[in-house]
Amino acid sequence: MTGFKCLAVPGPTNMPFEVRQAMDVALEDHRAPDFPDFTIPLLNDVKKIFRTETGHAIIFPGSGTGGWESAIANTLNAGDKVLTSSFGQFSWLWVDMCSRFGLDVHNVEVEWGRGVPLGAYREALEKDTNHEIKAVLVCHNETATGVTSSVKAVRELLDDLKHPALLFVDGVSSVGSLEFRMDDWGVDVAVSGSQKGFMLPTGLAIVGVSQKAMEQKKQATLPVCFFDFGDMIKMNAQGYFPYTPPVTLLRGLRASVDMLLDEGLDNVAHRHNRLAEGVRRAVTAWGLNNCAQEAQWHSDTVTAIKMNEGQDANAVIQTAYHDYKVSLGAGLSVLNGKVFRIGHLGWLNETMVLQALGGVELAMRKVGVAFEAGSGVGAAIDFYTETAASNKMAAE
């Protein structure tokens, strides 16, 4: 079949030509005398994406999973109590990792389609008068269900109770796309990855680390080597890395960070919200439902779409891919066959979203899902045209 594939999964995302070109360079000497001229400004600018002035930006070869591990191994001890919640595949995987590290995990299981349970968190923290809970984990954006939770609300809860626990945030599918304010929200470790909002290939775990987390590291006894914050920060201060860095990816990161800062982080968040709302209106027009159960949970980077009774989401996914070259996200774990996911993050505009929606309509029509042809695409077009002026003002 001729033509380009349409990548509409929530990661990896579309890669801008500027990023590709930045990585199309000869391999470099990562110990060269002038290497710090490249790395030090890059690390300082990555801090701007996290919106931290007091913290550190640390870049490991790896993925978001490696970033999760770095947060645990650098700051905690075996047997430490952590407060977590699971409401999707990725929030659950971080909880599972905590258990594997021998932590005392107090996990709140939440119905998939909802977010961080603030009431349950408050109850657990209020009871913790001896401050045995050493870290609170928040999955900012649960990619499996298209649910976004309020990190700010968790910070306000900790502050209200004067609880000293560290605040860990999984920002893999939020940093660089959604509003994220590491300093303002008092985040101690923020984990992201290169293949989503940063618009790069998979291969970098990009982590924001607070001064408080670094102080806690002095008391941490879990084994850590490859993901050691201290080793990285010490070498980064000189412009180098403790082991061979993925320089080609760092060149791409330089380009992607420049693009994000040039657009402006507020504008980036506005663009994602607007594109996501078009998708949500399409879902409603099709007569389907968002997996996120309430508007407060709606994600601006991925929408998980629930099929009606008797409909097979996997049939839509397979048909979209094989017949129309559109890649959609599958339902994970308990949602397998029940939802398909449209990723709308990264290097994206209205027409790219409409291409994905059109591909979904073709696939649904072919597998016998009843809906009015063009209804979803039309609803998105109506919204994008109605909000075109406000989008222009936001960009300016």
> How would residue 391 be classed by pLDDT, with cut points 50, 70 and 90?
confident
Segment 293-352, tens digit of pLDDT: 999 999 999 999 999 999 999 999 999 999 999 999 999 999 999 999 999 999 999 999
- Phi, psi at 138, each rounded to 5°: -130, 125
Q: What is the pLDDT of residue 395?
A: 64
Residue 335 is given by DSSP the state G
Comparing C-alpha atoms, which of 286, 290, 204, 267 is closest to residue 241?
Answer: 204
Mean of per-residue pLDDT scores for the chain:
97
Q: Which residues pair with 190 in a beta bridge?
A: 169, 208
Residue 147: in which H helix or E strand, if any? strand 147-148
Q: 299 and 147 in contact (C-beta within 8 Å)? A: yes
- How many CB atoms are closer than 10 A to CB 106? 19
Considering the domain delimited by 26-246+254-263, tell me its CATH architecture.
3-Layer(aba) Sandwich (3.40)
Write down the pLDDT at residue 393. 59
CA angle 19, 20, 24 (to 5 degrees): 120
- DSSP label at residue 289: E
Q: How far apart are CA 235 and CA 68, in angstroms?
A: 21
Q: Fold identical between 6-12+264-395 and 26-246+254-263?
A: no
Q: Are 161 and 125 in contact (CB under 8 A)?
A: yes
Phi-psi region of 368 (alpha: psi -120 to 50; beta: other; left: phi over 0): left
Amino acid at 49: I
Residue 166 has pLDDT above 90, yes or no: yes
Q: Which two tokens stand for residue 75?
A: 């700051």
For the segment 127-151, the average pLDDT, to the nearest whole number, is 98
Give residue limits of the domains in the chain: 6-12+264-395, 26-246+254-263
Q: Is 235 helix (H, G, I), strand (E, B) or coil?
A: helix
Q: What is the pTM of this model?
A: 0.96
The whole-number pLDDT of residue 392 equals 66
Q: Do 171 and 330 touch, CB atoms closer than 8 A?
A: no
CB neighbour list of residue 208: distance below 8 Å, 6 or more residues apart: 47, 50, 52, 55, 56, 57, 58, 175, 182, 187, 189, 190, 192
| Residue pLDDT, tens place only, 216-247 | 999 999 999 999 999 999 999 999 999 999 99
* Residue count of the chain: 396
130's CB contacts (< 8 A; 6+ apart) are none
The per-residue pLDDT for range 240-258, each reduced to its tens digit, is 999 999 999 999 999 999 9
Burial class of 386 by CB neighbour count within 10 A (0 to 12, 13 to 18, 19+): exposed
Q: Between 3.40.50.720, 3.40.50.300, 3.40.50.1400, 3.90.1150.10, what CATH number should domain 6-12+264-395 receive?
A: 3.90.1150.10
